[in-house]
């Protein structure tokens, strides 16, 4: 039974997740800014409140997604490092 790891690809996947998180944040901020300029700036009363509540839910969902992605990214990076250590230990023992 052979187990192979491509440490570079694992590390790259971890970095890609971090990059995606940053891009997602920026795109969500840009989208909400554009939405506000078009519609929400003049909304008051119930419509304004509903818009604010929707944005809070949106932000909460985005925060949960980012936390999940961050966890995956950290674990990928740590697993790559750990498997490299194990690989080096095995090589040193031969």
Domain ranges of the chain: 7-93
Of 33, 2, 19, 31, whose CA–CA distance to 66 is shortest? 19
Tokens representing 31 are 């989208």
**Per-residue confidence of the chain (94 residues) as pLDDT tens digits?**
777 878 889 889 989 998 998 899 899 889 888 887 877 667 778 888 888 898 899 889 999 999 999 999 999 989 888 988 988 898 898 7
In contact, 18 and 73? CB cutoff 8 Å: yes
Tokens representing 32 are 């909400």
18: Cβ contacts below 8 Å, ≥ 6 apart? 70, 73
Q: Which residue is associated with the tokens 């590390």?
A: 11
CATH number of 7-93: 1.10.287
Model confidence, pTM: 0.70
């Amino acid at each position: 039974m052979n187990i192979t790891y491509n440490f570079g690809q694992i590390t790259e996947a971890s970095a890609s997740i971090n990059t995606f998180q940053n891009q997602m944040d920026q795109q969500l901020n840009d989208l909400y800014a554009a939405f506000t300029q078009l519609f929400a700036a003049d909304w008051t009363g119930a419509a304004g409140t509903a818009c604010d509540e929707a944005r809070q839910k949106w932000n909460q969902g985005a925060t949960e997604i980012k936390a999940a992605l961050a966890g995956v990214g950290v674990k990928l990076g740590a697993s790559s490092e750990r498997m490299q250590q194990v690989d080096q230990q095995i090589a040193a023992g031969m």
